[in-house]
A and B are shown apart, each in its own frame.
Chain A
Amino acid sequence: MLLDVKNLKTHFPTQTGLVRAVNGIDLQVREGAAVGIVGESGSGKSVLSMTMMGLVPSPPAIISADQVQFEGKDLLKATASEMRQIRGNRLAMIFQDPMTSLNPFLTIGDQLSEPLLIHKNLTSSQAKKRVIELLASVGIPDPVARYRSYPHEFSGGMRQRAMVAMAVACGPALLIADEPTTALDVTIQAQILELMQSIRQNEGTAVILITHDMGVAAGFCDEIYVMYAGRVVERGPTERLFAEPTHPYTKALLSSVPRLDDPPGGRFRTIPGQPPDLTNLPVGCAFSPRCPYVIDTCRKEVPPLTTVPGESVAREKACFVEIRGKEAGQ
Chain B
Amino acid sequence: MIRFVFGRLISVILTIWFVATLSFFLIRLAPGNPFANELRGATPEVTEAKKREYHLDLPLREQYWIWLRGVVTGDLGPSMKYRGKTVNEIIRQTFPTSIALGSVAMVFAVVLGMMTGVIAALKKNTPIDYGLMAVAVFGISLPSFILATLGIVVLVFWARLFPLAGWETYSNVLLPGLALSLPFAAKISRLTRVGMIEILGEDFIRTAHAKGLSERQIVIKHALRGAMLPVVSYLGPAFALILTGSLVIEKIFFIPGLGTIFVQAATNRDYNVVLGTVVVFSSLLCFFNFVVDLSYTFLDPRVKPVSGR
A, B from the same assembly: yes
Closest beta carbon of chain B to A323's beta carbon, Å: 39
Question: In the bound complex, what is the Cα–Cα distance between A201 and B204 (angstroms)?
Answer: 28
A152 contacts which chain B residues (CB < 8 A)? 301-302
Report yes or no: A114 in contact with B211, Cβ–Cβ below 8 A: yes
Task: Determine whether A195 belongs to the interface, using a CB cutoff of 8 Å to chain B.
Answer: no
Of residues 98 through 152 on chain A, the ones whose CB sits less than 8 Å from some CB of chain B are 100-107, 114-115, 118-119, 150, 152
Task: Determine whether A97 belongs to the interface, using a CB cutoff of 8 Å to chain B.
Answer: yes
A106 contacts which chain B residues (CB < 8 A)? 221-222
A-B contact count (CB 8 A): 71
Contacts A84-B213, A88-B212, A115-B212 given; indicate if A95 touches B302 (C-beta within 8 A): no
Report yes or no: A105 in contact with B301, Cβ–Cβ below 8 A: yes
Report yes or no: B203 in contact with A88, Cβ–Cβ below 8 A: no
Task: Determine whether A92 belongs to the interface, using a CB cutoff of 8 Å to chain B.
Answer: yes
A119 contacts which chain B residues (CB < 8 A)? 212
Report yes or no: A97 in contact with B203, Cβ–Cβ below 8 A: yes
Report yes or no: B207 in contact with A55, Cβ–Cβ below 8 A: no
Report yes or no: A87 in contact with B210, Cβ–Cβ below 8 A: yes
Name the one of B202, B209, B213, B299 contacting A100, with C-beta atoms under 8 angstroms: B202
User: How does the 8 Å CB contact mask read for B278-309 relative to A, with 1 for contact and 0 for none?
Assistant: 00000000000000000000011110000000
Report yes or no: B212 in contact with A89, Cβ–Cβ below 8 A: yes
A166 contacts which chain B residues (CB < 8 A)? 207, 211
Name the one of B204, B210, B225, B301 contacting A88, with C-beta atoms under 8 angstroms: B210
Task: Determine whether A53 belongs to the interface, using a CB cutoff of 8 Å to chain B.
Answer: yes
B301 contacts which chain A residues (CB < 8 A)? 104-105, 107, 150, 152
Report yes or no: A101 in contact with B212, Cβ–Cβ below 8 A: no
A53 contacts which chain B residues (CB < 8 A)? 210
Name the one of B208, B210, B212, B299 contacting A103, with C-beta atoms under 8 angstroms: B208
Closest beta carbon of chain B to A63's beta carbon, Å: 16
Report yes or no: A103 in contact with B302, Cβ–Cβ below 8 A: no
Determine the main DSSP class of B at the interface with A: helix
A interface residues, tally (CB under 8 Å): 30
Report yes or no: A118 in contact with B213, Cβ–Cβ below 8 A: yes
Contacts A84-B214, A85-B212 given; indicate if A104 touches B300 (C-beta within 8 A): yes
Question: In the bound complex, what is the Cα–Cα distance between A53 and B210 (angstroms)?
Answer: 7
Task: Determine whether A86 belongs to the interface, using a CB cutoff of 8 Å to chain B.
Answer: yes
Question: In the bound complex, what is the Cα–Cα distance between A69 and B275 (angstroms)?
Answer: 76
Which one of A53, A86, A163 has the highest number of Cβ atoms from chain B below 10 Å of its Cβ?
A53
Report yes or no: A114 in contact with B213, Cβ–Cβ below 8 A: yes
Report yes or no: A118 in contact with B208, Cβ–Cβ below 8 A: no
Task: Determine whether A93 belongs to the interface, using a CB cutoff of 8 Å to chain B.
Answer: yes
Report yes or no: A100 in contact with B211, Cβ–Cβ below 8 A: no
Q: Nearest B residue to A163 by beta-carbon distance? A: B207
Q: Nearest B residue to A81 by beta-carbon distance? A: B214
Report yes or no: A150 in contact with B203, Cβ–Cβ below 8 A: no
Contacts A104-B302, A105-B299, A150-B302 given; indicate if A87 touches B204 (C-beta within 8 A): no
A85 contacts which chain B residues (CB < 8 A)? 212
Which one of B208, B217, B299 has the highest number of Cβ atoms from chain A below 10 Å of its Cβ?
B208
Report yes or no: A87 in contact with B212, Cβ–Cβ below 8 A: yes
B212 contacts which chain A residues (CB < 8 A)? 84-89, 115, 118-119
Report yes or no: B302 in contact with A55, Cβ–Cβ below 8 A: no
Report yes or no: B302 in contact with A93, Cβ–Cβ below 8 A: no
B interface residues, tally (CB under 8 Å): 21
Report yes or no: A88 in contact with B226, Cβ–Cβ below 8 A: no
B210 contacts which chain A residues (CB < 8 A)? 53, 55, 87-88, 92-93, 95, 167
Question: In the bound complex, what is the Cα–Cα distance between A113 and B212 (angstroms)?
Answer: 12
Of residues 183 through 241 on chain B, the ones whose CB sits less than 8 Å from some CB of chain A are 202-204, 206-214, 217, 221-222, 225-226
Q: Nearest A residue to B299 by beta-carbon distance? A: A105
A118 contacts which chain B residues (CB < 8 A)? 211-213, 217
A88 contacts which chain B residues (CB < 8 A)? 210-213
Report yes or no: B206 in contact with A95, Cβ–Cβ below 8 A: yes
Closest beta carbon of chain A to B221's beta carbon, Å: 8
Closest beta carbon of chain A to B127's beta carbon, Å: 16
Report yes or no: A100 in contact with B214, Cβ–Cβ below 8 A: no
B211 contacts which chain A residues (CB < 8 A)? 87-88, 114-115, 118, 166
A163 contacts which chain B residues (CB < 8 A)? 207
A167 contacts which chain B residues (CB < 8 A)? 210
Question: In the bound complex, what is the Cα–Cα distance between A93 and B209 (angstroms)?
Answer: 10
Question: In the bound complex, what is the Cα–Cα distance between A281 and B245 (angstroms)?
Answer: 61
Q: Nearest A residue to B211 by beta-carbon distance? A: A88
Closest beta carbon of chain B to A159's beta carbon, Å: 11
Question: In the bound complex, what is the Cα–Cα distance between A148 and B174 (angstroms)?
Answer: 43
B217 contacts which chain A residues (CB < 8 A)? 118
Q: Nearest B residue to A176 by beta-carbon distance? A: B210
B203 contacts which chain A residues (CB < 8 A)? 95, 97, 100-101
Q: Nearest B residue to A167 by beta-carbon distance? A: B210
Q: Nearest A residue to B209 by beta-carbon distance? A: A55
Question: In the bound complex, what is the Cα–Cα distance between A105 and B199 (angstroms)?
Answer: 11
Report yes or no: A55 in contact with B300, Cβ–Cβ below 8 A: no
Q: Nearest B residue to A55 by beta-carbon distance? A: B209
Closest beta carbon of chain B to A150's beta carbon, Å: 4
Name the one of B206, B214, B225, B226 contacting A101, with C-beta atoms under 8 angstroms: B206
B221 contacts which chain A residues (CB < 8 A)? 106
B222 contacts which chain A residues (CB < 8 A)? 103, 105-106
- Residues on B facing A (Cβ under 8 Å): 202-204, 206-214, 217, 221-222, 225-226, 299-302
For this complex, 14 residue pairs linking A to B, each with C-beta atoms less than 8 Å apart, are: A53-B210, A84-B212, A84-B214, A88-B211, A95-B203, A100-B203, A105-B222, A105-B299, A105-B301, A106-B222, A114-B208, A114-B211, A119-B212, A167-B210
- Residues on A facing B (Cβ under 8 Å): 53, 55, 81, 84-89, 92-93, 95, 97, 100-107, 114-115, 118-119, 150, 152, 163, 166-167
User: Which A-B residue pairs are the 7 nearest by beta carbons?
Assistant: A88-B212, A88-B211, A100-B203, A87-B212, A103-B204, A150-B301, A84-B212
